[in-house]
Amino acid sequence: MNFFKAQDEARGRTAKLVSILILAVLSLAGSLYVLAVIGETKLGLPLDWWQPRMFLATSGLALAVILGGSLLKIVELSKGGSAVAASLGARLVSPYTTDTRERRYLNVVQEMSLASGMPVPDCYVMDGDDTINAFAAGNDPKDAVVGVTVGALKNLNRDELQGVIAHEFSHIANGDMRLNIKIIGMIAGLTALAGLGYILLRLGLSSRSSNEKKSAWPLALAGLVVLIVGWMGMFFARIIQSSVSRQREYLADASAVQFTRNPKGLASALVKVGQLARRPHEVSVAQLEAQHLFFSSSGSFLDSLFATHPPLADRIQRIDPSISIDLSQLSSAECSDEADEAELADSPLLGFNSRTNSFAPSLPERIPSDLEIQEAVRFKGKIPSELRAVSQEPIGAMAIVLGLILRQDPVLRTAQIESARSLAAGEVVKQALTIEPLLTALPAGSRVPLLDLAMPALRQLSATQVSAFRAAIKELSVGTEDGMMVMLIHASMRRYLSVAPDALGSQPDAITVPNHFARVLSAVVITSS
């Protein structure tokens, strides 16, 4: 499978399908006008196709209802990934979980974040669902979440779970979440058009007296016309939506293989999905409504027409043609806890797989060689377990950031510590001094990955706490020797905490930009010497 070619083809097909969807909406507005003109003949009026006022009225009504319904739905879906996860009944996984499978799940998600350069999303589990499935939701990478079913944790080994998580990360990186929101919003608008027609039809048919019926039947006719147009729109929109979703699934599969460099892991996961899908299982209404968000289809009566995912056999063959697609031959044995423990113990960094490149370029870029991947993992070094544990809670995360910018000069360092004692009633400084020996001994190549691991915990702070911490870091970082680290901290806080540009410093100007370039070039010279 040529993954770059598959990505380009899938993107091109998606653009065409979205264009067709827009044209379909415009066609519905025209269809409403045509039916309205024909309906006038029932009132004894001559047939006249050129009626500008009628065209503006019918088209304006259709577009207003469609756009209004779409905007309302988009606003509803814009609450963030956590709201979507909650609506699906998913449970947030604690960073302190002692469950072996959940720890492995958290590790894999952190690996994918480090490999892709994206913020670490919150992790959710759908308890009570023994099928193998996963989802990604949110408006952008900053508020994205990923979730898996408990069946995925039980039945997938580490490589398979990594492939599934990489698939969901691909949806985030490729902007599929935003596309899904737009398509769902458009379908909601078309549903609103059908709903309006139903209301008008009911009003027209609810008249009791003969006089009321004579005057109300045109309203009923108009309602029937709008209802028919709305049904047409819903039918074609769902077909187009399923086509768009199927193409994005192919793109996510191709990108997931690019992430992990292990096609057999993802293909094997899909085989297990098919094997377990043959068992009867319950699907909630919320899952059916959000079926396009998931890793695989849950199955329905109209799967062949409205399926949001391609056939499993087709996906498997595209990823790895050497894998048999005879689902009945696959064993459904669950992964053992002992195997999970071994995987955790053998992992060089949070269970980091040697096939995964921590400095992987963005998805459209080339795939690095195995030698480059091994060199990148070696360069990162190993983060002590004590620092990993500290990075999972807000006070510890703030302490890590503070520790990374402390000055070497004793006098200046003391001044920094005194200025930072107001943070969390001195707890941040206390924690920073505790972990200072570990930070000092930490290899330079491990500092950026540690910063990435610490940033998600800062999202648990309140807006007031975030503002105070930003201001403190801005003040404490002035004159710090490691200007590169200060730049990375500011960039990470912008990315993770969605802060305004002026909150962490003014926009770059003609004077500061050369300084930034100088720091980058200095780092390149130092690391290559």
Q: Is 249 left (phi over 0), alpha (psi -120 to 50) or beta?
A: alpha
CATH of the domain at 118: 3.30.2010.10
Q: Which of 102, 111, 168, 249 is catalytic?
A: 168
Mean model confidence pLDDT for the chain: 72
Range of the domain at 312: 82-177+262-329
More confident residue, 136 or 260: 136
Tell me: the pLDDT tens digits for 367-424?
444 444 444 445 445 788 888 888 888 999 999 998 888 887 788 888 888 888 887 7
How remote is the C-alpha of 121 from its chain's centroid? Answer: 8
| Residue where one domain finishes, among candidates 256, 285, 301 | 256
Of 399, 403, 354, the closest CA to residue 380 belongs to: 354
Spatial distance between the Cα atoms of 206 and 209, rounded to a whole number of angstroms: 10
Is residue 341 one of the residues assigned to a domain?
no
DSSP state of 421: G
158, 338 contact by CB (below 8 A): no
Pairing mode, strands 91-92 and 122-126: antiparallel
Tell which of 283, 306, 329 closes a domain.
329
One domain, residues 390 and 444: yes
Residues 50 and 101 in one domain: no
In a domain, 356, yes or no: no
User: What backbone torsions phi and psi does residue 135 show, to the nearest 5 degrees?
Assistant: -150, 160
Is residue 14 predicted with pLDDT exceeding 70?
A: no
Give residue 52's pLDDT band: very low, low, confident or very high (50, 70, 90).
confident
SS3 label, residue 524: helix
328-375 pLDDT, tens digit each: 444 444 554 444 444 444 443 333 333 333 333 333 434 444 444 444
Residues 387 and 475 in one domain: yes
Dist CA 8 CA 250 (whole Å): 11
Provide the pLDDT for residue 234.
74
**Do residues 203 and 216 make contact, with C-beta atoms less than 8 angstroms apart?**
yes
Q: At what angle do helices 3-41 and 210-260 cross, to 10 degrees?
A: 170
- Is the domain of 390 the same as that of 488? yes
Q: Is residue 335 part of a domain?
A: no
Cα pseudo-dihedral 261, 267, 268, 274, rounded to 10: 160
Q: How many domains does one find in the chain?
A: 3
**Whether residue 511 sits in one domain with residue 389:** yes
Q: Which SS3 state, helix, strand or coil, does residue 156 take?
A: coil
Contact between 456 and 496 under an 8 Å Cβ cutoff? The reply is yes
> Is the domain of 169 the same as that of 289?
yes
Compare 41 and 426 and report the one with higher pLDDT.
426
Token readout for 335 is 């992964």
Joined together, the tokens standing for residue 123 give 């992790």
Please give the helix or strand (H or E) that residue 92 lies within, else none.
Answer: strand 91-92
How buried is residue 308: exposed, middle or buried, by Cβ count under 10 Å (0-12/13-18/19+)?
Answer: buried
Is residue 278 located within the same domain as residue 321?
A: yes
9 is a catalytic site residue: no
Question: What is the amino acid identity at position 378?
Answer: R
* Average confidence (pLDDT) over 21-27: 71
- The angle at the Cα of 510, spanning 507 to 512, to the nearest 5 degrees, equals 60
Instruction: Tell me: pLDDT of 50 over 60.
Output: yes
| Chain Cα centroid distance, residue 482 | 33
Does the residue 86 lie in any domain? yes
> How many Å is the maximal CA-CA distance in the chain?
96
Same domain, 493 and 396: yes
Query: Is the whole model's pTM more than 0.85, yes or no?
Result: no
Domain check: are 391 and 459 in the same one? yes
Answer whether residue 119 is part of any domain.
yes
- List CB contacts of 445: < 8 A, sequence separation 6 or more: 379, 380, 381
- pLDDT, mean of residues 75-82: 80
Confirm whether 336 is domain-assigned.
no
pLDDT tens, residue by residue, 416-463: 888 888 877 788 889 999 999 999 888 877 888 888 888 888 888 888
Query: Is the CB of residue 259 less than 8 Å from the CB of residue 170?
Result: yes
Final residue in a domain of this structure, among 225, 256, 287: 256
Which one has a higher pLDDT value, 410 or 2?
Answer: 410
Q: Hey, which bits of 103-223 come out as E strands?
A: 122-126, 134-137, 145-149
Distance from C-alpha of 454 to C-alpha of 527, rounded to nearest angstrom: 24
Contacts of 8 by beta carbon, 8 Å cutoff, 6+ apart: none
Classify residue 465: in a domain, yes or no: yes
Q: Are 256 and 10 spatial neighbours (Cβ–Cβ below 8 Å)?
A: no
Residue 363: inside a domain, yes or no?
no
Same domain as 400, residue 516: yes
On the question of pLDDT at 186 being above 70, the answer is yes
119 and 243 part of one domain:
no
| Same-domain pairing of 96 and 215 | no
Strands 134-137 and 145-149, by their bridges, are antiparallel
